[in-house]
Chain A
Amino acid sequence: MKKLFGILAMTLLISACATNPDGTKLDTSGETKLEAYNRAMFNFNYQLDKKVIKPVAKGYKAVTNQFFRDRVTNVFNNLEEPADAINNLLQGNLKDSGVSVTRFAVNSTLGLLGMFDVAKGWNMPRKKADFDGTMAKYCVPDGPFVVMPVIGPSTPRYLAGWGVDSLASPTFWALYDVDDDGVQAAAYGAYALKYLNKRAEAMTLLDDLEKNSVDFYTTMKSAFMQNRQKYVSLCGAEKDATAPSYDFDFDEDFDDMEE
């Protein structure tokens, strides 16, 4: 149990601001209270990032090159393929699930533990799917936009999905099941590297976004909520929809989009 808590705390700590946030659709009930909390927590995360995480990520970027960071990105993406396969299956996308299984097999071997995306060259690009999307498919509602400590932008369903998906990660089982100190240290190190690498790769984008935003919190919220629509469609609605989620009416006042 203690171990599990350790894992959770560690995961929370490291995943930091690596998520890319945004937001729309806020439930009107208790909106102001929730927003006040969200903004305060957003500010806390921002300061933590500014004083601790970002400087470390900058250092990491200084001592690594793009080639190295690309390999790191690929290795961790590859570790998410089992979760992609399961979620694609649960969402009824049999073909995509097969692609995820094949990709994992090919890239883990020929791609040298996932460092190189060989399958992509064979015209099998990644079919990303997560448990958040699976729950949405089975009509579990999203809930309001919530900023979590360290993790950042989230929704209750997104958070639950993220927890379930990490169960499909080999890193998780290394921490949970193996008592060897070396393996444990390696697994913690892997988590740290994963999120540090993500933060480093998002450096320019986030810096730019911040500099050009008059309300950084709202920008992150808006972008997060819109981006989620890509993987998530409530009750599989997107397939039947005649228009994509971003096909808003330019002439209409949609106050629900505002906050």
Chain B
Amino acid sequence: MKKLVVFLASFLFFAHASHAAVTPSQAEDFIKEVTKTGIEQIINSDVSQAEKDKRFEKLFNKYLDLDFIGRFVLGRYWKTSTPQQRKDFINAYRELNIKTWSKRFDEFKGKSFNFNGTSPSNSANQIFVNTTVNMGEGAPAKVVWRVKDTNGELKVVDIIIENVSLAITARNEYTAYIKKAPNGVDDLIADLKKRGQ
């Protein structure tokens, strides 16, 4: 009996360990790199807005797993979409996000991120990195980074600001939209493209 317990315990341990591929310090270092790059090379740098936009796009594509996020954001409509629709959606979603965030990024000028450790996720190979940013008056804004480890490569898959997940919000919004739109996903793609211009 005792042996069985030990066996089960070790099994559980290893099963669990195999999920915990990304360590807290790896994830934290990764987000430190992301924020440092963003602040030093983009926000605080003395280059034109066009150059900043270009650098931001590079940063965005390098550190975010938008294929993964896009699939989640489209929800159940991902399964019913054609490969072309999926590709078009991811591209439109990418363009819109780059444009939006590149512009908003300047708000972080002169700000710095404080790192407050990590929290585990129930999803395999994922972890949350907890940060806060002092945004002027009031309590500092809580920004949580969801980091995913894909075969040793770390990527951001969600950003949670003041408890609001960007992925969940987009998913709620887009699925509600598709449900009402006469041409479903195609309408959404067209609308996103329009907004991303």
Chain A residues near B (Cβ < 8 Å): 22-24, 66, 70, 73-74, 77, 117, 125-126, 128, 208, 211-215, 218-219, 221-223, 226-227, 229-230, 242-251, 253, 255, 257-259
Q: Residue B163 at the A interface, CB < 8 A?
A: yes
Q: Which of B104, B123, B169 contacts A250 (CB 8 A)?
A: B123
Q: How many Å lie between the Cα of A198 and that of B169 in the bound state?
A: 23
Which B residues from 139 to 188 make CB contacts under 8 A with A? 139-140, 142, 144, 146, 157-158, 160, 162-165, 167-169, 171-177, 179-180, 188
Interface contact B139-A128, CB-CB below 8 Å? yes
Q: Given A250, A251, A258, which contacts B176 in the complex, CB threshold below 8 Å?
A: A258
What residues of chain A lie closer than 8 Å to B163, measured between beta carbons?
A: 226-227, 229-230, 245-246
Secondary structure type dominating chain A contacts: loop
Are the C-beta atoms of A73 and B120 separated by less than 8 Å? no
How far does the Cβ of B92 sit from chain A's closest Cβ, in whole Å?
A: 11
Contacts of A24 in B (CB 8 A): 168, 172
Answer whether A244 and B119 are a contact pair too, CB < 8 Å, given A77-B138, A213-B173, A214-B192: yes
B138 & A226 in contact (Cβ 8 Å cutoff) = no
Collect the chain A residues with CB atoms within 8 Å of residue B122's CB. Answer: 242-243, 247, 249
> Quick one: given A70-B137, A215-B177, A255-B76, are A243 and B172 in contact (CB under 8 Å)?
no
Q: How far is the CB of A19 from chain B (nearest CB, A)?
A: 13
Residue from the list B104, B137, B164, B174 in contact with A74, Cβ < 8 A: B137
Minimum CB distance partner of B192 in chain A: A214
B100: min CB distance to chain A, Å = 5
Interface size on B, residues (CB 8 A): 45
Interchain residue pairs with CB less than 8 A apart (24): A24-B172, A74-B137, A74-B138, A117-B138, A126-B139, A128-B139, A208-B100, A214-B173, A218-B177, A219-B172, A226-B168, A230-B162, A230-B163, A242-B120, A243-B122, A245-B163, A246-B158, A246-B168, A247-B123, A248-B165, A248-B167, A250-B123, A257-B168, A258-B179
Query: A208-B100, A226-B164, A247-B123 in contact; A125/B169 too (CB < 8 A)?
Result: no
Query: Do A219 and B128 touch (CB < 8 A)?
Result: no
A152 to B144, CA, bound (A): 27
Given contacts A249-B123, A250-B157, A253-B75, contact A258 B191 (CB under 8 A): no
Residues of chain B lying within 8 A (CB to CB) of residue A128: 139
Chain A residues with CB under 8 Å of B191's CB are: 214
B192 touches A257 (CB 8 A): no
